[in-house]
Structure 1
Amino acid sequence: MAVIEKQSSEQHEGDVTCLAYHNGQLFSGGADGKIKIWDNDLNLIKSVDAHDSYIYAMAINSNNGKLYSSSCDGCVKFMAPPYDQTEQLFCCDDAIQAMYCDGDILYTGDEKGVVTNWIDDKIKFKYNLVEEVKSLGAEKSLIYTVRDLDVVVSDMIAGKSGKYSNKAVLPGKSPLALVGPVIDDKRTFLVFADRSGKGLSLVKNLPQQKFESVWNLTNCHELIIQAICGDENTVFSGGYDNKVKGWTNLEQTIPTPLGEVEVGSCVNALVCSGNKRVYIGASDGFVRRAKFV
């Protein structure tokens, strides 16, 4: 069973394109170039004119709360608490469509397939992974990237700038997410859309398990999946069919369905807040909070 508990008090002009959650606050990025900050009950705290155009992605440093955002103008900016204004990290000619923070380390992925590793807001390494990066994850020395056909797991070679080796190539499509309990600083599972875009695949992520498949849910959505998020015990997905669906007992060969909610608009972004709650960013400009029981 699942219900929509709350809807945001205001909306973006155009789509909500990305979401981030930290320390009891929700951040939404939109096609209007604004980043809106909400409390847990989706009351607006403030709205920041972050970019001149469409925001592609956001990532948040879980240690200090610094929020990074990228736009189709080629710029990556950041805001530190209390999130009053943005500062520019860099600008380039290539669209940064995906970002991820692994603790203090920021990763950005662009349309030419270059993943850049940032430490203390300075470039450490660049990795040319060849294929456009639409979704991105990272843990320790591993980078997880995906476009439309394959999820690629790359191992960064310590001490050698830009050198990496491929650990795995898995059939799949954007988006992807690292989920499950943390063991030795690594998430237990990797989940992503299958090549049809309508199903979900979950594989084991711990090093000794060699990305072994746990389950595949074919055609669990009627239309293409746009967003995936998860935590220690749950996975949520949503997309063009205007629905968000949830699963738990991820380690089973068939996960347990938690139900679904009808959003009424295309689901562009999801982020978990714990206790089987998920925030939903949609194409109508509103943010919603759903509770799965």
Structure 2
Amino acid sequence: MPLHVACKADDSNKHEYDVNQIIFHKGKLFTAADDGKVKVWTPDLKFLQEVQAHPCSIFSVTASDDTLYTCSNDGTVKSWDLNTLQDKKTLVKDEEVEFWKVKYDKGVLYIGDDQGNMRIYKNEIFFGSINVAIPVKDLAVKENLVFASKDHDIIVTDLHLNGEKPTFGVKATIVGRGPIILIEDKSIFMSRTGRDILLNQIGENQHIKELSTVSEAHDMIVNAGVAANWDGKCSVFTGGWDKIVKQWKVENNSLKADGSCAIDFIINSMIDGEKGQVYVAGSDGHIARLDL
């Protein structure tokens, strides 16, 4: 069966404003939006619970085994009990910056802001900060490589956290923009136009090599993307302002079109779920699950 809309969040329960990020964690979906709320959903998009986490926009959400983290343009990063959504603590409060991205990976919390700073926490204890030279709109981590982007460049940082403080150096500066998608030994970005997809190889010594480009993959700017590996087959999904989710298969160091699905809202965020399922979220609080 081709890619299709299987279910949507009910209008009575959806966010009031745009959803900025959706994640799938421990069998549940968590969404964060411009209404300052985090909402929790079942895999078939039945509403479970919510919390008014911030007074204004939540730009990003991430999760550890027992904790949810949110960041906002109110200058705070907060932590919440993953199961109850009870407020645990405010990790950071700085009214001079907007926190745009949080990412939890292997015991480390990365926090990116609008001034190009990335704060690093281990076990919720501040470990240090680095500057990646660009505002951190998107962020991805693969071993010691940290990928950060806004609208014009991808900055790849070689980051090591084994000492008493972070040590780092710029590994590569690549012309392009997010979303940043990592799968196996591949990295995927957009061109500066936001419409071309760039496929790259992470090779020996973690050198980033461009493999191929899908020119004008979308008619409008791509806001979101995700990669999934189901039964050893790698699929990539992209979507954005054109309200179309496109599926690509990774084959012979290139991306091949493998289906598409039109939806009725602008896509801001995507995440893979169970095998054959992709979730999309975006304008006016809409959330949908697409099935293969």
**What is the TM-score normalised by the length of structure 2?**
0.91
- Greater displacement, 18-27 / 231-240: 231-240
In the alignment, the residues of structure 2 paired with residue 277 and residue 230 of structure 1 have an alpha-carbon distance, to the nearest angstrom, of 11
Choose from 80, 88, 91 the match for 1:89.
91
Shift of 1:150: 1.5
Find out whether 1:42 has 2:45 as its counterpart.
yes
Find out whether 1:190 has 2:187 as its counterpart.
yes
State the match for 2:201 in structure 1.
Answer: 204
State the match for 1:273 in structure 2.
Answer: 273
In the alignment, the residues of structure 1 paired with residue 84 and residue 28 of structure 2 have an alpha-carbon distance, to the nearest angstrom, of 11
Choose from 160, 165, 175 the match for 1:171.
175
Task: Provide Cα deviations, 1:85-138, integer angstroms capped at 9, x if missing partner.
Answer: 223221112111112111221111111101111111111120012211111112
Shift of 1:175: 1.8
State the match for 2:101 in structure 1.
Answer: 98
CA contact (8 A) 1:176 1:192 kept: yes
Find out whether 1:288 has 2:288 as its counterpart.
yes
For the residue of structure 2 that corresponds to 1:231, the secondary structure is strand
Shift of 1:216: 1.2
Find out whether 1:159 has 2:163 as its counterpart.
yes
CA contact (8 A) 1:113 1:132 kept: yes
Shift of 1:258: 2.6
Q: Closer, same or farther in 2 for the Cα pair 1:207/1:98, shift >3 Å?
A: farther
For the residue of structure 2 that corresponds to 1:284, the secondary structure is helix
CA contact (8 A) 2:203 2:209 kept: no
State the match for 1:241 in structure 2.
Answer: 242
Shift of 1:206: 4.3
In the alignment, the residues of structure 2 paired with residue 116 and residue 220 of structure 1 have an alpha-carbon distance, to the nearest angstrom, of 34
Find out whether 1:221 has 2:218 as its counterpart.
yes
For residues 29-178 of structure 1, the aligned pairs below 5 Å read 29-61=32-64, 64-87=65-88, 88-92=90-94, 93-157=96-160, 158-159=162-163, 161-178=165-182
**What is the TM-score normalised by the length of structure 1?**
0.91
The one-letter amino acid of 1:198's match is R
Shift of 1:221: 0.7
CA contact (8 A) 1:50 1:85 kept: no
Shift of 1:68: 0.8
In the alignment, the residues of structure 2 paired with residue 84 and residue 69 of structure 1 have an alpha-carbon distance, to the nearest angstrom, of 11
Shift of 1:162: 4.6
In the alignment, the residues of structure 1 paired with residue 150 and residue 166 of structure 2 have an alpha-carbon distance, to the nearest angstrom, of 20
State the match for 1:184 in structure 2.
Answer: none
Q: Closer, same or farther in 2 for the Cα pair 1:81/1:133, shift >3 Å?
A: closer
CA contact (8 A) 1:192 1:228 kept: no
State the identity %. Answer: 26
Shift of 1:251: 4.3
- Greater displacement, 80-89 / 230-239: 80-89
Shift of 1:20: 0.9
Instruction: Extract unaligned runs of 5+ from structure 2.
Output: none
Shift of 1:253: 3.4
In the alignment, the residues of structure 2 paired with residue 8 and residue 285 of structure 1 have an alpha-carbon distance, to the nearest angstrom, of 9
For the residue of structure 1 that corresponds to 2:101, the secondary structure is strand
Instruction: Extract unaligned runs of 5+ from structure 1.
Output: 181-187
Shift of 1:4: 0.5
Shift of 1:228: 1.3
CA contact (8 A) 1:214 1:251 kept: no
